[in-house]
Structures are given as C-alpha cells and as structure tokens.
Amino acid sequence: MAAEHLPFKVADLSLAEFGRNEIRLAEHEMPGLMALREEYAGSRPLASARITGSLHMTVQTAVLIETLVALGAQVRWASCNIFSTQDHAAAAVAVGPDGTPDDPRGIAVFAWKGETLDQYWWCTEQALTWPDGETGGPNMLLDDGGDATLLVHNGAEFEAAGEVPAGSDDDPEEWHVILGVLRDAMKADPAKWTQIAGQILGVTEETTTGVHRLYEMAKAGTLRFPAINVNDSVTKSKFDNKYGCRHSLIDGINRATDTLIGGKVAVICGYGDVGKGCAESLRGQRARVVITEIDPICALQAAMDGYQVATLEDMVETADIFVTATGNLHIITAEHMSRMKHQAIVGNIGHFDNEIDMAGLARLPGIRRNVIKPQVDEWVFPDGHSIIVLSEGRLLNLGNATGHPSFVMSSSFTNQVLAQLELFTKTEQYPLGVHVLPKQLDERVARLHLDALGVRLTELSKEQAAYIGVPVEGPYKSDHYRY
Amino acid sequence: MGGSGYCSDIADAGLAAGGLARIGWAERAMPVLGLLREECASKQPFAGRSIAACLHVTAETAVLVGVITAGGGQVHLAASNPLSTQDDIAAALASQPGVFVHAKTGVDRDAYYSHLHRALDGEPDLVVDDGGDLVNTLHTERPELLPRVAGGCESTTTGVVRLGQMAASGSLAFPVVAADASVTRRMFDNGYGTSQSVIDGLMRATNLLLAGKTVVVAGYGSCGRAIAERAAGLGAQVIVTEVDPVRALDAIMSGYRVLPMADAAPAGDVFITATGSRDVIAGPHLALMRDGVVLANAGHFDVEIDVRALADLAVDVNRGIRPNADEYVLDSGKRLILLADGRVVNLIAAEGNPAAVMDLSFAAQALALMWLVSGEAGLAAGVYPTPAAIDTEVARLTLAAHGTAIDTLTAAQQEYLESWRHGS
C-alpha cells in the first residue's frame, strides 16, 4: 500500500460498538437485504466485484455494504453528502463485524459528519482509488446523486482534453473544488480517470438527481458505461421518496426545532413523490400545507388531494415552515428569505443544496448567522427579525435526523443489490445507456418485504391470470402502469 | 287511554305498507333500541302514560316510538320540521295502536303549529322535543296542561339553549333532560351522524366532486368539526369560520385555515353552516361569492344562511334545477346554488342521521324517559344534563349489540384509582 493511502478515514473508531448495535437492530428491519444474504451466501455472485459506493454513510447503508460483502464483493465507500454520515455507522463499517477498534477488519470507508467540500471530494476520490487493485479503480459504481460518476467522467474528459479548465468566478464553490481534485490527480497520473472509467462495468444510481445526470450524459453521448436507474423502481421511488420522506421530514424538523407543527402553515415546494410524502407527513401533524408547483399535473394532483396550491410569492410572508422538494435550483431566494416571518423555518429535502440560495443569504448586507446548534442556524436580518435554516440548506432529513428508516431503505437497497447483480453478472444484457430494473425484480423486492409486515398475498388462479393476460408469477403490470 | 277521540292528521294512509318496510329496515340498524324495546315490553314503564313528541318523522323516530308503545305508552307525534316529514313513515306509525301522528310534509307555518297543538291534545305526562317548539307552545299556549307533565327530554342544542333561557327566567315548569349534551350523543350524532349525512345531502343534491374544492365550514362545534374532517377526507381544502377563539384555535391546530366569513366568501366553492346562530352567511357575504357556489345549512333552523337577503340580491331564481337545489342569479350574472331552501340539508336532501347513530341518541332519550317516569329522578323544574349512568348504559348496550368485549377493572385497580395514598 502506498504511503499516502489511508486504509480508511472516519471520525472516531470508538463509536464502532454503538454502530454495530444499531446495525444489528437495522438488520431486523431490512428483511429484503437479509433475504438476499441468505439466498446468495453460498454462490457469492459478486466475488471479484470491486464496488465503489458514494452514498450516505448511515446505519442502513452499513447493512447494504455488508450485504454486498456477503455476496462476495470488495467495497470502498464515501458518503454522498458532507453532513449525512453517521459516525458510529462509519466506525462500525471500518471495524467490521469481526474486527475491533484496535484491529479493524472492515471495509475502506472515507466519511465523517461535517466534512468540508475539500474533504468531501478527497473522500470521494479515495473511495474511487483502489491502491491494492491492479487497475487502481473499481469495476462497479454504486452512486447516489452521481458524484462518483461525475468525478470519473469529468476526470476522463479533462484527461482527453489534456487539461483541467480553470473555472470562472460564476461557478459554484464546489466546482472549483472538483477542478482542484482533478488537477492534482492529473499531475500525479494523466491517465488515471480514463483507466478507471475503462474498467467500470456499470453504475447503479440511487436517486432522481443522479438519474437525471445520467440521462443527460446518455443523450449527449458522453456516458462511458451502462447505468441502471434504481430510483425509478417502484419499490424505490415510492417507498424511499414518498414513505421515507413522510417519516423523516418531521423527524428532522422536530429534532432541529422542537416546534409544534400542528396549526402552522407549511409550504412544500414541489409535489413529486418526495413532496407528496412531505405534505402528507406535515398534514398528519395537522399543519396547513400549501403546495407550490410548476407542473400542471402535479399541481392538479395537489389540489385534488385537498391542498391549497399557491406560488411561493403568495405565501412567503405568511407561512411558518418552508420545505423545498423540487430537485431544481433557485427555489427559495435570499430575497424570499428576507421577507419571511420572524423565525420561519426553512429547509430542503431535495438532494442538492442549491434549492435554497444559501450563498445569496450569506451575502445580504448586515446579515448575521447565529449557530443555535449543529445544522440549525438562525440568520438574523439587519431589522432584527430572523429565520431558522436547517442543515445549511442541505437535505434536512439526513442532516437534522437520521434519514429514512431502515425498512424503507431495505426496499431501496434491495433494488440496489439486485441492480449490482444484474450489471455485474449479466453485463452483456445491459449495453451502454440508462436502464431500469425489469418489473419482475421490482416485484421481487416487494415480495421480500411482505412477510415482515404480516402481509398475506392473494395468488392469481390460472384462469384469473389468463383472463388479465399475465403470468401467475408476474410481472403483473405493464411498464407504463402508475402505481 | 285507548283511542278516545284522537285521530291522526297525515298525508296519505295508503303509504303505510311502504313505511312499515322502511321502519323494519331501520330496526336492523338500531340494535340498542331493540334491546330497550325488549326491556320495555317486559317492564311496561310507560303503562297508562301519554307522551307528546315533536320529532323529525323518520324511520328512526318510528323505532323510538315503538319502544315507548312497547312499554305501554300512548304517543302523540308531531313533526319538528315541516320539510323533514316522511309521509310513508307518518302513515305507518298512524296505523299502529297507541300512536297518533300529526305531520305532513311541506305544510305551512299555521299547520305546523296546529300539529303541535294536536300532539298536546293528548294531555302528555312526558314530552319529547327537538328544537323546543313543543315545550314552548305548551308553556305559552297550553299552560293548563303543565301540572300533569312529569318531565321531558330535548334532542338538540338549539332546543336546550331555549329551554335554558326558560329555566333561567323561571318559566320552565318541569324537569327536562338535555339529551343533546350526552357524551354518546355528541360523539355519535354530531360527530359521526350529522357529518356523514350532511356530506350525503350535499352529494345527492349536487353530485359535486369535493376533491380539489374549497369547502367553507361555518362553526367548529362538534358538528362543524366533523363536517370539516369528512370534507377534508374527500380531498377538499377546508376553511373554517368561527366566533369562538377557543374553537378557532382548535380548527387551526387541526390544520384548517380559519378566516372571517367576509374573507372566506370569495374563496369558497361550497359553504356549509353549522353554527346554531343566524345570518352567518349574510347579504354582503353572498355578494362576494364566486359564480356557481353551493350553499348548504347543517344547523337546525333555516336562519344561518340569510335566504331573504339572497332572494333580494337575486334578479332571477331557477327553482329545482335539481331536487333540493335552487339557483339564484345575481345582478352580476353570478349564480348561487341554495340547497334545501337553507333548511337542514342532511335531513332534506339526504336521509338524516343514519339509523345506527339515531339508535344511540334515541336510546339515551328512552332511558331518560324511563328514569323521569319512574319517579326516581325527583328533580325540580330545570334543564339537566343526561345522567352519566344513562350515558354509560347506552355505551354498554351499544357495545353489547356490536359484540365488543371490554376489560373490567380489577379490585386492585379500582382501589388504586380511588386512593389518594399511592404516589410515585
């Protein structure tokens, strides 16, 4: 191992025992993953897979990682968000089920809560760099938001161009950091990313934002390896986006502020799956929920679900809670925030931190940031009124709470493992492009979770199956069916 | 007792067979009254007694009447609302021994009051009222009958308020049990029954999809709260109007928008009044409303929506554009749809409370009447809440009818709950 390479980097290995206890509890709540471990314990179909994961380093992700390991894979990992790592989970994964803090035997994980942007991209690069491997890189990516894919693609692109561009003052701070990482890499090895990209059989992408990037790359002809869009499995998007956010949004707001939600006016920007779950959870607490939308279909859905649909402009001065769930940028501007009620709560549950203009807020003349506690900031305007911003505009359900609960992540991650198996073991069936998992695998993920909930499934008779024209064992719905 | 000179005044005695079939259907959904009817048949608590009743003449009321007659009583029934009388039920009841019915659907005010007098002609020992008109008429116009009245019960909040005023001024001559305020009544009647049947009435009268609509509910009492919940459950956005800050806060904390009616008027698609007050939707509000709004009243009287102001504003009225729906065309060209003439919409455009709800409500009244007539009550003139024992008995009978078993306190639990010595 080269001297500059650390075997892993986490905040505090002494947290490993706590992390292991939580992982043990989570395993019980993740029946899909545990069923796959049982099924593939003997065959180890991921043996010889070298998987780099870029995904929130939480307790649930630890169960995913250890499932991949149980299926034979070697794994290196980074978080995909600077705040989302649970340090005890990272420690437990580094120590591994058979190691101790003094003798860690887990996987190479590079993640801690509260990374700087420089540290974040260093971690991502570490996860992509396989010092022991012959090729120096992974042969599979497991991505959430597409940052690992982005680094590989941009690195290879700049290597082909022969230089890393300088970047301009208009570019976000993060882009300059990425350019810096790639510039340093190019100095050390001008073919590093090209070589890594060439070895990668494919990527399985977890989230809407990352999937969007993949389709853009495929359209532009710049995609370098096949991708499976895990996000659009029904058992991922509905469960993770809708039911998961329904659970963790109010958890985040409660832990951050302990504000009574009942009776408040809450604005949810975006009524996609995430927005629907958020609206339902706040309504369940008896907030009055108002939706903003740009898509007439989603807006009509919100109205038919009984929500007021307004523009942010209509609500900005009267609402108590604002949550962005759009996947788009510049939703809540600094100007909006300056007009909000005293101590209005502002948070984002979309993947990236560009939905709320934090940089613009910080640039307002005379504004003052008062840190209440980690991930809870009071921003005081010159006139004395203030707002409360959660997780610095990054996704608050992970920053202020613990993200999705284990059961939801089991549904999501079981898709991930099946997608990894598909790409790794049936590579020839997935040509360059972006694919979704076959519906039967989607149904399989659901099946693996029914027993734990005491669900008794009715089986089609042969006559019934023939009558509706589906096999008895599925798939039961057309690809276009909207669940 | 017996048929001594009394006769019914009903629309059409020929409707009796159909009415009896509907009463039989209601009886299936009213198992608690069924249990009480068995008890009354064996104990005869009303033997030789005359009972004057002013109630909505519906199948459910008929089942209550059946309990009283099974217990030996003679019933003189008048309608508590000229529009809610179901003539087939009136005919069916009038065909029964010991029952005299004075009710026809759609009668005018004079006939309405003459029916109250005919019910009082039976020289009641007990009175059963719904809205307070019968008791009021008894005190103001038939005081000679007062000495023999042992007591009564009143079904609605509106009536209880009126009786309370009578009692406060010293005019009430006998004890009245306020059946509106019993826990089981509020829970089932206002909470579950009225709300379901108000939405039912709205749907039958308009066939309107509520999802996506803005429904303004005036009043957040036990009826209004439940109506709001049902409307929200169907996908409507609900706006509540209130005068009581506690209830307004309750509505806010339940996640509804609370606005003054003047602000709600231009925002709503459907307006439902459930306040017990008058002029809740008044002329100035009507003028602010959007084209095509629907106006319905769930309160007891027809004063919550100012129908006269609506008529004054209208340049044209298209009556009966659907059953129980009249279209008022304003000068501006805007059309406002008034349901059931602004009278209680759940009774007129739908079938009132489902029988299962009235089962509890009437069971409490039957038990209250049994208690009053037994002489055990020993009450002075005044308005009394339903005794807790009756509430408990109603709930017990209802659970028994549903086949639901519950736990019983152990002696140790009983002792613990009654003791002040146990600390942490």
Rounded CA-CA distance B158/B176 in Å is 14
Average pLDDT over residues B332-355: 92
Q: Is A236 a catalytic residue?
A: yes
Residue B71: both structure tokens together:
């217990």
B245 touching A (Cβ < 8 Å):
no
Which of A54, A74, A84, A348 is flagged as catalytic?
A: A84
E strands, A281-385, are 288-292, 308-309, 321-324, 344-348, 368-373, 376-380
Average pLDDT over residues B309-331: 96
- For chain B, give the mean pLDDT: 93
Residue B366: both structure tokens together:
């039957």
> What pLDDT does residue B1 have?
40
> What pLDDT does residue B160 have?
93
Rounded CA-CA distance A48/B17 in Å is 84
Concatenating the DSSP letter of every residue in B347-358 gives HHTS-SS-HHHH
What pTM does this model have? 0.77
Give the distance from residue B266's alpha carbon to the nearest chain A alpha carbon, in angstroms.
15
**Confidence band for B157, pLDDT divided at 50, 70 and 90:** confident
Helix B59-70 and helix B16-28: axis angle, to 10°? 80
Model confidence over A348-388: pLDDT tens digits?
A: 999 888 999 999 999 999 999 999 999 999 999 999 999 99
User: Which chain B residue has the Cα nearest residue A280?
Assistant: B255
Rounded CA-CA distance A245/A252 in Å is 10
**Confidence band for B83, pLDDT divided at 50, 70 and 90:** confident
**Confidence band for B3, pLDDT divided at 50, 70 and 90:** very low
CB atoms within 10 A of CB B408: 7
Give the distance from residue B169's alpha carbon to the nearest chain A alpha carbon, in angstroms.
41
Residue A70: closest CA among A90, A51, A88, A89? A51
Give start and end residues of each alpha helix (H) in A129-244: 147-161, 173-188, 192-199, 208-220, 234-236
Which portions of chain A are predicted below pLDDT 70?
1-5, 133
User: Which chain B residue has the Cα nearest residue A300?
Assistant: B212
A259 touching B (Cβ < 8 Å):
no
A28 touching B (Cβ < 8 Å):
no
Three-state DSSP class for residue A325:
coil
Beta carbons within 8 Å of A302's beta carbon, 6+ residues apart? A271, A279, A291, A293, A309
Which of A54, A60, A74, A79 is flagged as catalytic?
A: A79
Concatenating the DSSP letter of every residue in B84-132 gives T--HHHHHHHHTSTTEEEEE-TT--HHHHHHHHHHHHTT--SEEEESSS
User: Do residues A93 and A57 touch, judged by C-beta distance below 8 A?
Assistant: yes
Rounded CA-CA distance A463/A457 in Å is 17
Model confidence over B189-224: pLDDT tens digits?
A: 788 888 999 999 999 999 999 999 999 999 999 999
B249 touching A (Cβ < 8 Å):
yes
Give start and end residues of each alpha helix (H) in A369-436: 396-399, 406-425
Concatenating the DSSP letter of every residue in B17-35 gives HHHHHHHHHHHHT-HHHHH
> What pLDDT does residue B188 have?
81
Continuous segment of H or E residues that includes residue A228:
strand A227-229
Residue A344: closest CA among A316, A313, A374? A316
Q: Is A84 a catalytic residue?
A: yes
**Cα B301 → chain centroid:** 11
Of B235, B253, B257, which has the smallest distance from its Cβ to A286's Cβ?
B253
Which amino acid is located at B33 in the chain?
L
Which amino acid is located at B158 in the chain?
T
**Confidence band for B45, pLDDT divided at 50, 70 and 90:** very high
Judged by CB atoms closer than 8 Å, whether chains meet at A262 and B236 is answered as no
> What pLDDT does residue B352 have?
81
Could you tell me which residues are beta bridge partners of residue A265? A288
Res. B421: pLDDT tops 80: no
> What pLDDT does residue A179 have?
97
Residue B48: both structure tokens together:
């030789």
> What pLDDT does residue B2 have?
42
Per mean pLDDT, which range of A30-39, B102-111, B368-377 is the poorest? B368-377
Residues of A in contact with B254 (CB under 8 A): 262-263, 286
Residues of B in contact with A288 (CB under 8 A): 252, 255-257
Q: Is A245 a catalytic residue?
A: yes
**Confidence band for B355, pLDDT divided at 50, 70 and 90:** confident
> What pLDDT does residue B4 have?
61
B114 touching A (Cβ < 8 Å):
no
